[in-house]
């Protein structure tokens, strides 16, 4: 942009309103890349890791949760045990994928009627709702009281159904349940809070940090699931983290496998620096990824660490990256048995 790279806040504010309409996913992904690059540069100029610019470490390393799963409760329990042996203390459990997509043997009617698009998946809502408490019961019994269990609803059921299901799993003491409602259904949190004390994680679908204001001020959820590379980078993520400190809501940055190692490093530097950190979604980088990105955050016994070089600590080998051209991914929907599209 030909500007002074030091003025990160000014550039962020300029970009935020540059298109008049506030930052949707397209602008925001670009802005996140820019913002993360500017913090990386500032760290290098200061000869400090980025977490030092954010106030320094408040913990020695970052506790993470990993993903266990399987097509039966027992398979889930086996998967959990495997990760416990690796030292993980926080494990997310999903039976048959998000919302049990693909786990049912029922043949969906809409496909028989030639409705929908090729590649569309389907979901058996009732099957999913029944399966989750059973999964928690089996895993809790087989894996003991010491392990923290998480689960992601992925917004795919009706709000009142989600509330009912979360109430049922309260006795298994989940660490958090994620995304019980889609963004259109935020007002249902009031009933959820009256009904259960299960901690809730929310926010990976928000585009604009202002979407966090009302639910956080009202303490509707307990863990902030920002997708940092989607919300505009470290600058706005720090503002949401600080809002969380005011209301004792903790961070749990969204860290799926398709976020780049730079993005994961951005998470990790914030995680080390904010008091109200909660948990981090773990990632283990493949050898190919590490070949492209040197200096990836590392995992050890359930904790993530960053290297201690200036900036974010991750560099890109562009020559290596050229080996992996972008490929087009197919588009698909999840539908109910009658063909109705389900909103994630």
**Which CB atom, from 275 or from 324, has the smaller least distance to a second copy?**
275
Shortest reach from residue 166's CB to a second copy, in Å: 9
232: left (phi over 0), alpha (psi -120 to 50) or beta: left
**77 vs 222, beta carbon nearer a second copy:** 222
Count of alpha carbons within 13 Å of 86, Cβ hemisphere only? Answer: 19
Nearer to a second copy, 126 or 291 (CB): 126
Integer CA distances (angstroms), 213 to 16, 30, 152, 209, in order:
17, 23, 22, 7
Please state the closest distance from residue 288 (CB atom) to a second copy, in A: 25
Residue 273: how many other CB atoms lie within 10 Å: 21
User: Smallest distance from the beta carbon of 13 to a second copy, in angstroms?
Assistant: 4
Q: DSSP letters along 164-176, please?
A: HHHHHHGGG--SE
Provide the minimum distance between the beta carbon of 320 and a second copy in the complex, in angstroms, as a whole number: 28
Q: Are 61 and 303 in contact (CB under 8 A)?
A: yes
Q: Where does residue 233 fall: left (phi above 0), alpha (psi -120 to 50 degrees), or beta otherwise?
A: left
DSSP 57-100: -SSSSEEEEEEEEESSHHHHHHHHHHHHHTT-SEEEEEESSGGG
Closer to a second copy by CB, 86 or 317: give it: 86
Q: Which is nearer to a second copy, 187 or 288 (CB)?
A: 187
Is the backbone of residue 150 left (phi > 0), alpha (psi -120 to 50) or beta?
beta
Residue whose CB is less far from a second copy, 189 or 293: 189
DSSP state for residue 260 in the 8-state scheme: -
User: Rounded to an integer, what distance in angstroms lies between the CA atom of residue 68 and that of residue 318?
Assistant: 33
End-to-end CA distance of the chain: 36
Q: Which residues pair with 224 in a beta bridge?
A: 202, 251
Shortest Å, Cβ 170 to a second copy: 8
Catalytic center residues = 98, 154
**What's 258's DSSP letter?**
T
In the bound complex, what is the minimum distance in angstroms from residue 179's beta carbon to a second copy? Answer: 11
């Amino acid at each position: 942009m030909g500007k002074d790279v030091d003025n990160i806040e000014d550039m962020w504010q300029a970009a935020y309103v540059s298109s008049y309409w506030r930052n949707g996913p397209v602008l925001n992904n670009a802005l996140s890349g820019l913002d993360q690059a500017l913090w990386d540069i500032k760290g290098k100029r200061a000869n400090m890791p980025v977490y030092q610019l954010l106030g320094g470490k408040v913990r020695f390393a970052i506790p993470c949760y990993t993903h266990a799963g399987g097509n039966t409760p027992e398979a889930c329990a086996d998967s959990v045990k495997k990760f416990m042996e690796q030292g993980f203390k926080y494990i997310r459990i999903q039976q048959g994928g998000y919302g049990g997509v693909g786990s049912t043997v029922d043949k969906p009617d809409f496909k028989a009627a030639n409705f929908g698009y090729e590649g569309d998946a389907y979901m058996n809502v009732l099957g999913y709702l029944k399966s989750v408490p059973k999964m928690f019961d089996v895993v809790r019994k087989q894996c003991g009281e010491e392990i923290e269990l998480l689960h992601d609803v992925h917004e795919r059921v009706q709000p009142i159904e989600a509330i009912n299901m979360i109430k049922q799993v309260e006795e298994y003491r989940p660490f958090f349940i994620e995304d019980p409602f889609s963004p259109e259904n935020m007002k249902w949190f009031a009933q959820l809070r009256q009904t259960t004390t299960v901690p809730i994680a929310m926010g990976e679908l928000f585009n604009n940090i202002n979407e966090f204001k009302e639910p956080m001020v009202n303490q509707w959820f307990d863990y902030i699931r920002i997708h940092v590379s989607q919300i505009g980078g470290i600058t706005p993520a720090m503002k949401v983290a600080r809002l969380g400190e005011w209301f004792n809501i903790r961070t749990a940055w969204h860290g799926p496998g398709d976020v780049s190692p730079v993005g994961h490093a951005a998470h990790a530097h914030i995680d080390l620096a904010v008091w109200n950190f909660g948990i981090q979604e773990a990632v283990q980088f493949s050898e190919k990824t590490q070949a492209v990105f040197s200096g990836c955050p590392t995992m050890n016994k359930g904790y993530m660490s960053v290297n201690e070089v200036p900036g974010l600590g991750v560099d890109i080998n562009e020559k290596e990256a050229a080996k992996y051209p972008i490929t087009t991914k197919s588009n698909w929907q999840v539908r109910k048995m009658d063909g109705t599209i389900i909103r994630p």
